[in-house]
Structure 1
C-alpha cells in the first residue's frame, strides 16, 4: 500500500476504513439471485447466468395466501455480510425471515460391501445419516453399502465461466473433523481420509442458519442490517437461500423488497469480466 496516496485528516493522520471483504471479491448489493432454489431456470433460454433468478420481492393481496416465499441460489461462492428490508403496509403479526439451507446429498444403495461409501446414523433411530467415504467405514462401524458420485454434475446449460456444481452438497464441519473437502477454485469435492476435512455430506436437507428469525414488521419502513465490523461468512453455491414472509391480513396488501450485501469475485451477468 502506498501510504502517501491514502486520505488524511486536517492534522495529517492517515485515514483507514474497515473492509469486511477480502481483496479477491467485489462489493455487490444483490436484488436478484442467479437461479431459483428449485434448480430450474427463469429469465433465460436454459443457460445458467448471474442475476437472472428470482427478484427479491413479495407482495400480498386480498384473498391471497398469508404466507409467501422466494427461494434462490448464487451459482458461485459468495461472502454474506447482511442486507436490508423495505416494507409498506405492515401490521402487527407480519414477519419476514431469511434462512440458508443445504439440500441432501444423493447416495445410491448397492449390494452390501460393494459401495464406495457408507452411512452413519448421527442420532439413533432418526433416519438421518452422515455419508462416510469407503476407507473410513470401518472407523464408523458401518458397511460400504452405498455409492456416492462426487463428480456427477448438475445440468445447467452453462456456456460461460460459471463452474458447474456437483450434486453432492458440502456442509461445514466446524471442528475441522470432516470426511470431505471442497475446492474454492474448481468447486470439486474430494474425500479426506484423515478425517480432517472442512466439510461433511448428509443424506438429508439441513438448515444452516436463520439470519432474520421472525423479524417483525410494522407500518412502513426500512430495516438496515449491514455492518462493517463483522466477520463475513463464505456461502457455498450448492446452498439455497429462502425468504419467507407472513401477512397477518393479506387484505392489508403488505409489500416487501430486500437486498443482500455480498462479496463476489465476478459481478457481471456472464463470463469472467470484472474478476
Structure 2
C-alpha cells in the first residue's frame, strides 16, 4: 500500500471520479431490490438499502450515497443523511434479523445533516437508536468505510462485527473541517487538521478500530472501479465465512463478540491534566 498523508488521501476521496455506492452495488451484488421509506416520515436518498444476493447468499445492503454529479448530489443531499435515512436503515436491519440475512453496510459520509429540520425530527435520537439496536442485532453485520466516515453519521452504520476500510478512506469522530473550525476557529486549516487526527486506515488499524484494509486500484479507486469492487467482494466473502463460523457457536457468542469489540478500546497514554 502506498504511503500517503491523510490529506493526500482526502484528495483521492474527493476526486470527482471516485466510485460511490451507486457504482459498487451493481458490481458486487446480484438482484439488488431497493426498499424505500422509514414508515414514519419519508424516504431519504442519502441512504439506500434493500435485499440482494452475494454469490448466492441472500443479504441486506445498506449504503450511504454520494452523487457522481451535481444533480445526483442534490438528490442525495451530498451524502448527508436525515433522521429518516437512519430509521430506514434500522427498519431494513431489523427485517434482515427476522429473515436471518447478514447486513452489509457501505459507509461514505462527511457526517449526518445538521439542518434545523433534521434536528426537529430527532437526528441525535435516530443515530443513538441505531447504535444501540445494531449492538444487539441478531445477525452478522459487516461495515466498509468507502471514503469519508464522519462522526455519528458514519457510526450509525458502523456498529458491526467487522469494520474494514478502503485503502484511501478516513474515519473520525468529526470531519477534518469541523475539527479545524472547533479547535482553531478556522475551517481553512482542514488539511493541517487532517494530518494530525490519526484517521487513515493504517492509523485506525494500529488503534484497533479497523479490522481489515481493503486495497484499491493504483492511484485510487477511480482509476479502476471494477478492480476495487473485486477486492471488496473478496473481503465480503471472507468476512461472511468468518461470521458464519461465529454463528455456529450461537447467537450469544456473536453478540458478545460484537459488544467486546467496542468495549476493548486498548491502552492509551493518560494525558496530564492542567493545573490551570
Common fold by TM > 0.5: no
TM-score, normalising length from structure 1?
0.22
Question: Would you tell me which structure has more strand in proportion to its own residues?
Answer: 1
Name the larger-Rg structure: 1
